[in-house]
Structure 1
Amino acid sequence: MSTQTSSGTAVTDTDEDRALKARHAAMWALGNYPVVASDVIASLGPVLVEAAGLTAGQRVHDVAAGSGNVAIPAARTGAQVTATDLTPELLDKGRTDAEAEGLTITWRVADAEALPFDDGEYDVALSCVGIMFAPHHQAAADELLRCVRPGGTIGLVSWTPEGFIGQMFATMKPYAPAPPPEAQPPPLWGHVDHVRELLGDRVEDLTARQQDLVVDQFATPEEFRDFFKANYGPTIAVYRAIADDPEKVAALDRDLVALAERFDRGDGHTVLDWEYLLVTARRA
């Protein structure tokens, strides 16, 4: 069985797809992604909010919101924010943080490939290193666009394939179970040609630029590796997959350190540039 988006793209609703989404939701609940969001990539949310030019009163949807890296700074502008994600544990953390600031945000468990909203319900749709992890890119892009009114704004931040996080996924790939054949690699969203193809003529005034997030929280490459082994769901999942093979665990340990050493431009203290693609566009 499958449903159709307004543009005609099939969104699978099979047992296999539901199982895949359940695995994704569970993966992002592993470890402590909110501490990654707050301690390492916190600045990306405000960058996207500023690029989208949010103003008070706008209806804003943060897609694949995690723990609110974009939703919370968006709400600070006075916008009416809805945050959706597959993983309820992440939304729970975002809800707690928002309430501590006195911010009102609607938090809702939802699949980016099958959003429970009307056509054109929002003025703005944003996603910060979130929607890129939906396995079926065209279905996710179609839903992102469907829920934005004509003339509304789309804003995206995605890790590039060549950048640090894209290369981290490439480093982990040989150790990870093979993904389903129809699932697309997340870092493809970091190529502007891919994004243009996904959005097509349904957007206007698309602008894209590559920027770097400077990460200097880790004293050494080993400290980076251990932080991600403890906190980042995808990394934890790969290590769990090879837990019964000490040689593979040791090899991945070495490979992740080597990756950080390759990107390190610090002098006695690790400094990494994590490249991402920032895209804004207007719904045609």
Structure 2
Amino acid sequence: MTDTVTTTAAPTADAAPAADEAAADRALKAKHRAMWASGDYATLASDLIWSLGPRLVDATGIRPGERVLDVAAGSGNVAIPAALRGATVVASDLTPELFDVGRRLATEAGAELEWREADAEALPFGDGVFDAVLSCVGVMFAPHHRPAADELVRVARPGGRIGLLSWTPEGFIGRMFAAMKPFNAPPPAGVQPPPLWGDEQHVRELLDGRVTDLAMERGTLVVDRFRTGEELRDYFKAHYGPTIAVYARIADDASRVRALDDALAALGREAGLDGSGRPIEWEYLLVTARR
């Protein structure tokens, strides 16, 4: 009888770094999920940006019977209007904690759709299975822009549409992120600022050679909810995950908290919140293309 000897191949030189990178990515995504689950993003979306969803649905011409994916859907401000057009819709997001409100809003609106937990950088869908792939101020917050763009293109069918709406670096939300940056931790290597998705050249580079009929248009969202910079600041401190995360990081340093308080209130005043009640405008970039 011959003895059978089982051997285990030695790990390759790349195995340990690859495992470390995978673990770091899981930790980063867990941090992002916790950030967006904090506060009350669903209320913010309903209060401030719900109208952007129908804007994107109109721009991409969603029709009955089409299969539509909403990437980083949040509580459904794109997915629900698309479903009401008669499309078969999947709302995907890294943060499924937002789905409970989304399901309620969909039920109230009479919309039927599927809710699916998913990482925008590794979507759990086959190649070319959607007629339209949309994202409204959503995929821009995926930390690695190239993999996220790759996935948007991959899951759209040949000839299918891609529609994106993102805050611009120069607009109010882009300036808010710039104001918070000195108080935030340095991003991990390879992580890019979300408002870059609102820069035309950056989007061209992400989609270059893989789409046709690329069109980009800047627009503005009129916001009339706030009277003063302080009121806007306090709303974001209570509702918006990225703002909540920055304040949590500096909570033990009263002088830095005051400095950030002052910076965000000043940003609101610079935008026109002078107590008069007149609205302000938040700039976005609307992108449409075909795979």
Aligned to 1:46: 54
Q: How does 1:134-173 map to 2 (within 5 A)?
A: 134-173=142-181
Give the superposition deviation at 1:13.
6.1
Quick one: which amino acid aligns to residue 109 of structure 1? E
Deviation of 1:96 (Å) = 1.9
* Helix, strand or coil at the partner of 1:107: strand
Alpha-carbon distance in structure 1 between the residues aligned to 2:24 and 2:272? 40
The Cα of 1:267 is off from its aligned counterpart by: 6.9
- 2:142 paired with 1:118: no
Unpaired stretches in structure 1, ≥5 consecutive residues: 1-9
For the pair shown, the structure with the greater C-alpha radius of gyration is 2
Q: With structure 2 as the length reference, what TM-score do the two structures score?
A: 0.91
Secondary structure of 1:201 counterpart: coil
Is 1:202 the counterpart of 2:207? The answer is no
Contact 2:76 2:102 (8 Å CA) reproduced: yes
- In structure 2, the residue matched to 1:73 is 81
Specify whether residues 149 and 165 from structure 1 end up closer, same or farther in structure 2 by C-alpha distance, changes over 3 A only. Answer: same
Q: Could you report, residue by residue, the CA deviation over 1:208-245 in whole angstroms, capped at 9, with x for unpaired residues?
A: 01111011111211110110000000000000000000
Provide the C-alpha distance between the structure 1 equivalents of 2:116 and 2:263, rounded to a whole number of angstroms.
Answer: 37
Correspondence for 1:281: 289
CA contact (8 A) 1:122 1:149 kept: yes
TM-score (norm 1): 0.94
Is the contact made by 2:228 and 2:273 (CA closer than 8 Å) also made in structure 1? no
Deviations 1:64-101 (A, max 9, x none): 10110100111110000001000011122211211222
Deviates more, 1:87-96 or 1:32-41: 87-96
Deviations 1:94-128 (A, max 9, x none): 11211222311110000000000000010000000
Q: What code does the residue aligned with 1:14 have?
A: A
Aligned to 2:12: none
Tell me whether 45-54 or 269-278 shows the greater mean CA deviation: 269-278
Runs of 4+ in 1 over 6 A off after TM superposition: none
| Pairing partner for 2:182 from 153, 174, 199 | 174
How many residue pairs get matched? 273
**Structure-2 residue corresponding to 1:237:** 245
Percent of pairs with identical residues = 63
